[in-house]
């Protein structure tokens, strides 16, 4: 059985958003003996120029027929594309007949503009997550997930996350063996769980304000300690009250939240990359109680530590 995959393009789309998912389906189809038929789509058909200047030949979506899966790519031109009523109508129609509808990076904005994502959990590139939530408050935006699967809708973060999503779609279609062989051929990991963070928590917080960069590094190196506000304020040479106010203003979150994010990142690294018992990791990273760590994982990653470990226990490509 041949599955038709429509890749929806528009002027100034991101070339690698389209190329990455296309390559994953192409290779999987060869390995699986059940080829995918990839069709680049656009409003008028013909050549569509990417933001890099390279153009791809496309089929006008009004004449393209039906598809198993529609993938809307991201790119600098997504804002202009959102204003195209014909494109919106095409997405809405395909959402009623296609088995799956997906986005890569800022392609999520195009899906959101049609109402397809209403009340669903979604993601996009972390730099655009705040804007997506502000523009479409009815969405449940997971700001740092690599990809999110909510019913027939799949959304992913930037370029490499689109490949992760495509591998997950291939696995759903053809099984884990074909998914893994595809990843090996592409020399990528099979597979990064969708809930995995897009970026380093420490990098995220340091990038907001250099004032507390040294303290954040110290926290990362001392997670096992009781990191109360009093302890952190003393380390920063400030009064607790002034420290809490200044830290929140500079970093964008409370000291307690920053400590938890750094503990979660460190704990996840150990859960995924070691065979240490969960109880030991909880102590090493300052959670101490494995149940407390489990609840924190569920809030942040939407899965418990045991599931994170199972999902990471795969061979690299």
105 an active-site residue?
Answer: yes
- Using the Cα atoms of residue 241, residue 245, residue 247 and residue 248 in order, give the sign of their dihedral: positive
Phi-psi region of 299 (alpha: psi -120 to 50; beta: other; left: phi over 0): alpha
In whole angstroms, give the CA distance from residue 302 to residue 249.
28
- Strand-pairing partners, residue 56, are 48
Catalytic residue among 105, 129, 143, 236: 105
| CB contact at 8 A, 157 and 124 | yes
Q: What is the CA radius of gyration of the chain?
A: 22
In whole angstroms, give the CA distance from residue 254 to residue 271.
26
Q: What is the dihedral of CA 243, 245, 248, 253, to 10 degrees?
A: 100
In whole angstroms, give the CA distance from residue 148 to residue 102.
10
The DSSP bridge pattern shows strands 121-122 and 140-141 to be parallel
Could you give the 3-state DSSP secondary structure of residue 149?
strand
- Tell me the CA end-to-end span of the chain in Å, nearest whole number: 27
Q: Which two tokens stand for residue 105?
A: 């990076």
Catalytic residue numbers, as ranges: 105
């Amino acid at each position: 059985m041949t599955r038709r995959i429509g890749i929806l393009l528009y002027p100034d789309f991101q070339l690698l958003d389209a190329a990455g998912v296309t390559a994953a389906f192409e290779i999987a189809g060869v390995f699986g003996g059940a080829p995918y038929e990839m069709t680049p789509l656009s409003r008028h058909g013909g050549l569509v120029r990417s933001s890099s200047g390279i153009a791809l030949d496309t089929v006008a979506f009004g004449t393209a027929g039906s598809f198993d899966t529609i993938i809307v790519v991201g790119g600098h031109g997504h804002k202009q594309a959102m204003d195209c009523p014909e494109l919106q109508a095409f997405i809405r129609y395909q959402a009623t007949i296609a088995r799956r509808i997906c986005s890569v990076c800022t392609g999520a904005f195009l899906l959101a503009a049609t109402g397809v994502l209403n009340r669903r959990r979604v993601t996009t590139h972390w730099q655009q997550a705040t804007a997506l939530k502000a523009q479409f408050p009815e969405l449940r935006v997971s700001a740092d997930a690599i990809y999110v699967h909510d019913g027939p809708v799949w959304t992913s973060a930037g370029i490499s996350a689109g490949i992760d999503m495509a591998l997950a779609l291939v696995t759903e279609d053809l099984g884990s063996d074909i998914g893994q062989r595809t990843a090996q051929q592409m020399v990528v990991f099979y597979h990064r769980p969708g809930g995995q963070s897009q970026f380093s928590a420490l990098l995220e917080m340091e990038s907001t304000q250099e004032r507390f960069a040294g303290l954040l590094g110290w926290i990362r190196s001392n997670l096992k300690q009781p990191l109360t506000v009093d302890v952190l304020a003393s380390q920063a040479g400030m009064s607790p009250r002034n420290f809490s106010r200044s830290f929140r203003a500079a970093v964008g979150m409370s000291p307690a939240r920053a400590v938890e994010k750094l503990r979660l990142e460190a704990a996840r690294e150990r859960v995924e990359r070691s065979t240490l018992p969960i109880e030991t990791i909880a102590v090493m990273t300052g959670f101490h109680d494995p149940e407390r760590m489990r609840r924190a994982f569920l809030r942040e990653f939407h899965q418990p530590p045991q599931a994170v470990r199972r999902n990471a226990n795969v061979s690299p490509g």
